[in-house]
Amino acid sequence: MTERTKRLRDKSLAARPSISAERARLMTDFYRANLGKLSAPVMRAESFRHLCREKTIYIGDDELIVGERGPFPKAVPTYPELTCHSLGDLRILSTRPKTHYDVDDECLRIYEQEVIPYWRGRSMRDRLFERMTEDWKAAYEAGMFTEFMEQRAPGHTVLDDKIYFKGMVDFRADIARALAELDFLNDPEAYEKSQALRSFDIACDAAILFADRHAALAREIAHNETEPTRKSGLEKIVQACSRVPAYAPRDFHEALQSYWFCHLAVITELNGWDSFNPGHLDQHLLPFYEKGLADGSLTRESARELLECFFIKFNNHPAPPKVGVTAAESGTYTDFANINIGGLLRDGADGSNEVSHILLDIVDEMHLLQPSTNIQLSSKSPEKFLKHALKVIRQGYGFPSIFNADTVVLEQVRQGKTLEDARAGGCSGCVEVGAFGKEAFILTGYFNMVKVLELALHNGIEPKTGKRLGPATGEPDSFHSFEDVFQAWRLQFQHFLDVKLRGNQVIERMYAQDMPAPFLSVLTDDCIAKGRDYNAGGARYNNSYIQFVGLGSLTDSFGAIREMCFDGERGGLRVGELVAVLDRDFEGCESLRQRLVNKTRKYGNDDDEADRVMVRIFNTCFEELDGKPNTKGGHYRVEMLPTTCHVYFGSVTGAMPDGRRAGLPLSEGISPVQGADRRGPTAVIKSAAKLDHVKAGGTLLNMKFTPSLVAGEEGVEKWGHLVRSYFKLGGHHVQFNVVGAETLREAQKDPEKYRDLIVRVAGYSDYFCDLSAALQEEIIARTEHEGF
């Protein structure tokens, strides 16, 4: 880091997250004045332009890359048109010990007097719950599934390379051409398209306006600046902000500033899931890097400093806080922007370059919570690249995670994308694949597969309330074989999946009609060509995901039922007896619980019999969901990802036959149940590779290594082989926590001292001390793979 970026980093780390009511107030004013006058797309675009025109502009000391979503760093705006926080919500945010946000009296006053009176009943969240069926609400409240769009807009979208050779002026020309070509005589949708295209044009103008205001402010500060270095820095800011994003960037600095304005515009327009993401940043920047080195305007060091400034910008933007169930499922400041490093080029060649190594160096040195980073490792990636990444991971800060670029391409080609689009795609959020710049790949909610078994074991009755939640699929003692149990689970699974999907279809249409995203549409192919919004199917590809949770817990529970109740030698326990024990949460049956935990086959040990059940569950998810149509001309796909939802789902799920007590977390991703894998990392990898990763849109495998296992050059080398082997077997993703349990215990005792301790949670990294006590315990409990 340079002195400048050290200061910027310190400032970013010290800044306290707070809630800013500015955006809510501006949005409320605009809606009050204009609702009903404009079509929905134009209304959204004009409200966005209003924000760009009116919001406070911030340029901090030392900054080279400028622009904040809020009025100053870590001031987080709210989106009352999506989710309107209550006064109670805001007070909780300002008083809860973890992931705290400051809320001042002025903010509370604005909310009480202006925001809440207007938006209560009008926000997407309020209207969405209004339109869900009783079945849906009952299942949602029981914790069968969650719903992403009740809090934030559809998102997970990543940018490709288009803004590096095109500016808003060029997009406006494309829009004008599309408008001119509309055929009102023959195309019944021509009017809708014209409104969408008009909204796109307004959004481009708004982004230019936003940049111009930064240029003006920088000019003003520069005018009064006497220190020559800073003055020239400010002049460069003026130059960049006057140029981008209106026109294509000319150099490295402008390229970063152009992306950053687009980033801010996307996350100001709407609060899409996982913010926004530059995707293959190293590949996009390489031409600017090489040009700068060649013409002498850039050095490796100055490029690195600019990138460091850019990274700090991400860190200044904590995720907008949630309310209700989702607050528990994802308690984090991280907004999941996940930069892809390495990967493949469009033509299939290795995509790693010198900028990839600079990015890895920055991750290694800066230890910021945001942005997340991952490496896309292909069979063509050089060893040097992999080893560099592993040495960064070894520091124990959880970054970067590792993806199999070859499988990522295959997954997308299976979904019907072109090979080139798939290669230019990658991963975002936690582990989700997408065609960058060309796809709306929407996560729609987590699905509690273990709770489904609980219902199957109770004939469709929720044991906690005694109320019927699912179909009657048989009393436990009517199951005469393992097949009977599995079929009952499958029937329940189909039922709740249907309930979830029916809700999804409604919600998707609500967003398509009422909540367009014009600026994001400008950046996403083929919205302009189709004259259709991103939220209405304008993207070239439109996959919707459901994320299934609890694969390991469910596998082990099924295995235990088979062994204890139906296995010739050891069986003999009636299913009804087992269920009665579960209903008592194993009270008075510790010996049986121990037997279930220790003496039944477990997923994660390369045990074919146990793993077969895992594969069968995964295939059931795939058969029941994959290829079902969404309302945008795309399809539903399977995702095996928990984020932190396995903790929430565990808290609403009773005791299970794998010996897990009621309320404890479920297994996460495709990782084995915490502590159930006892044959070391190769066995975990072999087990996890038995499912066909190509059929999913992302799987998450978490492994915890102690530093001793990866010490020295040789440790890194063997670790690299381990990763390569997993990917040769077709694995999608693996991430490593390199940390000793004693370090984590110390951190629990003395959080002050370990405030910078970042651990991988599930697809992303977080400050260990910010995690809930339950999640901290779980991270400690995850098997530590000792070498000997």
Partner 1 sequence: MRGSGKQAITGLITNIQRYSLQDGPGIRTTVFFKGCPLDCWWCHNPEGLSRRREVVTIANRCQQCGECIKACPEGVAQPGSSPAGSVCVRCGACIGACPTGARQFAGMTMTVDDVLWEIDRDRIFHDDSSGGVTFSGGEPLLQPEFLLALLHGCRHSGVRTAVDTCGFVNESTLLEVAAHADLILFDVKLLDDSKHRKFTGVSNAVILANLRRLCGRHPEVWLRVPVIPTVNDSPEDLEDMARFAASLSGIRQVSLLPYHRTGIQKFERLGREYRLPAIIPPSAAEMKAAADCFQAHGLKVKVGG
> Least CB distance from residue 784 to partner 1, whole Å?
13
Residue 682 as a binder of partner 1 (CB under 8 A): the answer is yes
> H/E element holding 760?
strand 758-760
Q: Measured from the CB atom, is 71 or 715 closer to partner 1?
A: 715
Residue numbers 603-632 binding partner 1 by CB under 8 A: 606
d(CA 544, CA 441): 6
> Least CB distance from residue 427 to partner 1, whole Å?
23
Count of positions on this chain that bind partner 1 (CB under 8 A):
29
Residue 568 as a binder of partner 1 (CB under 8 A): the answer is no
Residue 379 as a binder of partner 1 (CB under 8 A): the answer is no
> Least CB distance from residue 716 to partner 1, whole Å?
12
Cβ neighbours around 165 below 10 Å, total:
11
Q: Measured from the CB atom, is 59 or 781 closer to partner 1?
A: 781
Window of 229-237, 503-511, 584-592, 752-760 that interacts with partner 1 by CB under 8 A: 584-592
Q: Exposure string (b/e) for 27-64, b if CB count within 10 Å is 16 or more?
A: bbebbeeeeeebbbbbbbbbbbbbbbeebeebbeebbb
Q: DSSP assignment of 349-382, as one string?
A: SB---HHHHHHHHHHHHH--SSSEEEEEE-TTS-
| Pairs from 757-761 (Cβ < 8 Å, separation ≥ 24) | 757/396, 758/367, 758/369, 758/396, 758/397, 758/398, 758/399, 759/396, 759/398, 760/398, 760/401, 760/702, 760/735, 760/736, 761/332, 761/643, 761/644
> Least CB distance from residue 378 to partner 1, whole Å?
15
Among 117, 572, 629, 787, binds partner 1 (CB under 8 A): 787
Record the tokens describing residue 200, joined without a space: 């796109």
Q: Measured from the CB atom, is 230 or 724 closer to partner 1?
A: 724
Window of 182-190, 391-399, 535-543, 722-730 that interacts with partner 1 by CB under 8 A: 722-730
Residue 722 as a binder of partner 1 (CB under 8 A): the answer is yes
Among left, alpha and beta (phi > 0; psi -120 to 50; other), residue 345 is: beta
Cβ neighbours around 139 below 10 Å, total:
24
Taking alpha carbons only, the member of 735, 736, 768, 763 closest to residue 751 is 768
Among 39, 395, 487, 725, binds partner 1 (CB under 8 A): 725
Task: Identify the active-site residue in 84, 430, 589, 645.
Answer: 430
Q: What is the CA radius of gyration of the chain?
A: 26
Q: Measured from the CB atom, is 141 or 786 closer to partner 1?
A: 786
Is residue 624 annotated as part of the catalytic site, yes or no? no
Residue 109 as a binder of partner 1 (CB under 8 A): the answer is no
Is residue 645 annotated as part of the catalytic site, yes or no? no
Record the tokens describing residue 53, joined without a space: 């025109």
Record the tokens describing residue 272, joined without a space: 């899409």
β-pairing, 401-404 vs 372-377, is parallel
Q: Measured from the CB atom, is 633 or 707 closer to partner 1?
A: 707
Residue 599 as a binder of partner 1 (CB under 8 A): the answer is yes
d(CA 596, CA 563): 9
Among 379, 478, 481, 598, binds partner 1 (CB under 8 A): 598
Residue 728 as a binder of partner 1 (CB under 8 A): the answer is yes
Residue 680 as a binder of partner 1 (CB under 8 A): the answer is yes
> Least CB distance from residue 587 to partner 1, whole Å?
15
Residue 233 as a binder of partner 1 (CB under 8 A): the answer is no
Among 180, 591, 713, 773, binds partner 1 (CB under 8 A): 591
> Least CB distance from residue 683 to partner 1, whole Å?
6
Q: DSSP assignment of 718-745, as one string?
A: HHHHHHHHHHHTT--EEEEEE--HHHHH
Cβ neighbours around 186 below 10 Å, total:
6
Catalytic residues: 430, 432
Q: Rule CB under 8 A: which residues touch partner 1? A: 590-592, 594-595, 597-599, 606, 679-683, 686, 709, 714-715, 717-718, 721-722, 724-725, 728-729, 785, 787-788
